[in-house]
Chain A
């Protein structure tokens, strides 16, 4: 990593921590806590994305006091790898392909998060997802199914919005800045 990559990773972490609050202020039912990870993975590459994701997870825990979120750091790693690959394949070039790629990531990330939520926390994790889990369970779904459905459902929505946002950011970059990032300038 170069000093510039380091500064970009710090930016990604800050974006992760701040955009979630904007989403909450808009009363949107999504966390959007990985926009920075996706952005850094797309601009710089998978390694920088992974670092951004893991540091974000640690700092989110530190700022909220909720350290039970730490094991979900592995989801950030998956997000970074997927986003870097998606960028290389040109998924961010258009809003439609970005949203489609985001849907795919939602399935993948939700599938990774669900076992963590189930085995480590018995399905009780962050607020919104747990409410969905509980509702499904009350409606009669078995616990593992309820946890998986809630996790994947929220992630699909969350990640397709996040991918659409990152695609919009990349499209709005001034040409001179674009030229500095080989993946985007192609």
Chain B
């Protein structure tokens, strides 16, 4: 699991929408370009973004852990097993178009990972809540995106309790795949039924405190937004549109 890191970088101080917009723009850009060189530039842009946010080390390690297995598989799927003509790279004889394709696909994944891990590391969830509420996002949306994140650790803890309790009662979780499959429902059922039983109390507590799905709430600490950041975000949108326009003009792919 990753999370936000504290820090005073420009991305940390920025309005929460700005790092998210930058990450979103890199995500879309990664799919708008289709040559190894252009994808490489998007990856570099992602790394620069992480450096600006002061989270390069925080981001690169999980990005590599997540990307390496996929890169390996892409190399096998496209590099080794791709079409002719072949090129010799070190000890390997690889498919030339396959290698280009593997570089594009692997680069896209790397760019997406670096960009979004940077956004995650620089945007604090409570500030995002305030920013969304200040922009008039309905309570329901904010609730689902943020409050679920506080429910998950509690459910994980309960899953561990259920597991321990069922093991005390003689549940064995080893053995054949079929035996392990049978162990699934004694673990899942108590967890889900317990959570369902709490729903009514949660609804009553929220309702009594005035929560309304489409309601607009008073924002207590609205994050400041600068004209420069607003211009930057609109600029990103135009840039993306231009990139997709160029892609369509080239005839897709």
Contact = CB atoms under 8 A, between A and B. Distances in A.
Interface of A: 1-4, 6-11, 13-15, 17-19, 21-23, 25-29, 35, 39, 51, 55, 58-59, 61-68, 70, 120-125, 127, 130-131, 133-134, 137-138, 143, 161, 165, 168-169, 172-173, 177
A100 to B, nearest CB: 17
Interface residues of B, number: 65
Contact of A58 (B77, B145, B188, B211): B145
B113 A68 contact: yes
A21 B187 CA distance: 11
A18 B156 contact: yes
In the A-B complex, the 7 residue pairs with the smallest Cβ-Cβ separation, listed nearest first, are: A67-B116, A122-B105, A65-B2, A14-B151, A26-B180, A18-B155, A124-B74
A26 B184 contact: yes
A28 B70 contact: no
B168 interface: no
A1 to B, nearest CB: 6
Interface string B199-210: 100110011000
B59 to A, nearest CB: 9
A143 B105 CA distance: 15
A63 B145 CA distance: 12
Contact of B184 (A10, A22, A29): A22
A67 B113 contact: yes
Given A3-B207, A65-B63, A177-B196, A21 B189 contact: no
Given A22-B159, A22-B187, A28-B181, A130 B143 contact: no
A134 B73 contact: yes
Nearest to B121: A65
Grouping DSSP codes into helix (H, G, I), strand (E, B) and loop, the A interface class, with mixed when no group exceeds half, is helix
Given A29-B177, A134-B73, A121 B105 contact: yes
A102 B133 CA distance: 39
Interface of B: 1-2, 23, 27, 31, 62-63, 66, 69-70, 73-74, 76-78, 81, 101-102, 105-106, 108-109, 112-113, 115-117, 120, 140, 143-145, 147-149, 151-152, 155-156, 159, 163, 173, 177, 180-181, 183-185, 187-189, 191-193, 195-197, 199, 202-203, 206-207, 211-213
Nearest to A13: B148
Nearest to B70: A124
A13 B149 CA distance: 10
Given A23-B184, A68-B113, A137 B81 contact: yes
A26 B152 CA distance: 19
Grouping DSSP codes into helix (H, G, I), strand (E, B) and loop, the B interface class, with mixed when no group exceeds half, is helix
Contacts of B120: 62, 65
B70 A26 contact: no
Contacts of B202: 7
Nearest to B195: A11
A39 B140 CA distance: 19
Contact of A165 (B63, B106, B184, B213): B184
A28 B180 contact: yes
Contact of A67 (B27, B180, B206): B27
Contacts of A39: 192
A55 B147 CA distance: 12
Most-contacted residue by chain A among B62, B149, B211 (CB, 10 A) = B149
Most-contacted residue by chain A among B73, B140, B163 (CB, 10 A) = B73
B227 to A, nearest CB: 29
A137 B95 CA distance: 15
A11 B154 CA distance: 12
Contacts of B192: 15, 39, 169
Nearest to B158: A18
B74 A21 contact: no
Contacts of A122: 74, 77-78, 101-102, 105
A65 B112 CA distance: 9
Nearest to A70: B27
16 contacts: A6-B140, A8-B199, A14-B155, A14-B195, A21-B156, A22-B184, A25-B173, A58-B145, A65-B2, A67-B113, A68-B112, A70-B27, A123-B77, A134-B76, A138-B76, A172-B193
